[in-house]
Amino acid sequence: MMSAAPRLALVAGEASGDLLAGLLLQGLRTRWPGLQAAGIGGPRMAAQGFESWWPHERLSVFGYVDALKRLPELLRIRRQLGDRLLDERPSVFIGVDAPDFNFGLETRLKAAGVRTVHFVCPSIWAWRGERVHKLKAAADHVLCLFPFEPPLLQRHGIAATFVGHPLADAIPLEVPRAAARQALGLAADATVVALLPGSRRSEIAHIAPRLIAAAARMARQRPQLQFVMPVVPGLRGLVEPLLARAQSEGDYPATLRLLDGQSHAALAACDLTLVASGTATLEAALFKCPMVITYHLSALNWWRMKRMRYQPWVGLPNILSQGFIVPELIQDDATPEALAREGLAWLDDAPRVDQLRQRCVGLHQQLRRDTANQAADALAQVLALA
């Protein structure tokens, strides 16, 4: 235990990074109540006393085309942030995911003697494996969410610790289904489908219309279905025009309700989710929720990503299980008809649902490791304070 709380600098891009960093900061404050933290983050980090110098939305990009358009702005923010951090010299810098932004910043800070930690190992085991060399130059230590990652990094001479996944600590093993339904005003006996189109603006544009159209097709076959769509605060204005257009075209489920955030309540309450690939698929698994994973990018982004893939799976539940325990409909396969068909198949197969839920309990137990305490131990070692 150190005599004075550390001063942390963090950068978290997008809603998923803000969620992970917020949970991490909450736990670290238990160890170091006087902890100070600043940098780039979102509302969940701010709720833990984090001082955000830029909002995390400024780092949100979708694929290569969007990144190229935003490159001058992103480079300017990174340069200005690096200048400030070198002047203020935090105890440690923690880059939360966002490797394309954080690696360059971490490398600069590390070369200047600022200790650096990268939280969330980049998915070098899935695609773009050459990033391991950039990670080695950037980070003094890596906090890994998954158990197979530290041995992989250690083979490349990178110090790493498996700390578990903070969501596995935050989400209860026993799903609070009844309470979630009551909170959302859903009947106990309703059949509920959650639509999760992602947290980026471009994901909303590419994926939300497919989910809405799929829901309309499911509703035509089963009018009693209830649909909820959690939307990241601030992006409701992007979704409402899509719903209005679908309504005018007659391709809209009458029982669809938008939620401001509340994705965890939706996943706890639902019988099925149609979900964009990303952290939300792991959240769905931790809520033991049957799911259909989907994704869609521009043609150029898809061509480049497809060339660099190492594994047949894109969804985290499937990657962790090394098999297709839930269906994936990606790019050209992500049609409303296919999404509706795979979704209804879950609702008609109770034994399959039970088997999936048992697998998800095992994943939950594997990832539940008291992440904040494990991360605090690792940070103390990095700071030579153990």
Higher pLDDT, 313 or 159: 159
Q: Is 177-366 in the same CATH topology as 7-164+369-382?
A: yes
Percentage of the residues of the chain whose pLDDT score is greater than 70:
92
Distance from C-alpha of 212 to C-alpha of 216, rounded to nearest angstrom: 6
pLDDT at res. 2: 46
Q: How confident is the model at residue 13 (pLDDT cuts 50, 70, 90)?
A: confident
The whole-number average pLDDT for the span 40-69 is 81
pTM of the model: 0.83
- Sign, CA torsion 62/336/302/18: positive
Q: How confident is the model at residue 69 (pLDDT cuts 50, 70, 90)?
A: confident
Question: What is the topology classification, in CATH, of domain 7-164+369-382?
Answer: Rossmann fold (3.40.50)
CA proximity to 163, closest of 367, 16, 12, 383: 367
Q: How confident is the model at residue 115 (pLDDT cuts 50, 70, 90)?
A: very high
Q: How confident is the model at residue 1 (pLDDT cuts 50, 70, 90)?
A: very low
Neighbours of 236 (CB within 10 A): 15
CATH number of 177-366: 3.40.50.2000
Q: In what order do the strands lie in the sheet with 256-260?
A: 256-260, 226-231, 192-196, 272-276, 291-295, 328-330
pLDDT at res. 58: 77
Query: Residue 100: exposed, middle, or buried by beta-carbon count in 10 A (0-12, 13-18, 19+)?
Result: middle
Q: Which token pair is 166?
A: 């903070």
Q: Which token pair is 5?
A: 């709380």
Q: Has residue 63 got a pLDDT over 60?
A: no
Phi, psi of 336, deg, nearest 5: -55, -40
Q: Has residue 126 got a pLDDT over 70?
A: no
Give the residue extent of every domain in the chain.
Answer: 7-164+369-382, 177-366
- Sign, CA torsion 253/335/232/314: positive
Distance from C-alpha of 245 to C-alpha of 26, rounded to nearest angstrom: 41
pLDDT tens, residue by residue, 209-237:
999 999 999 999 999 999 999 998 888 88
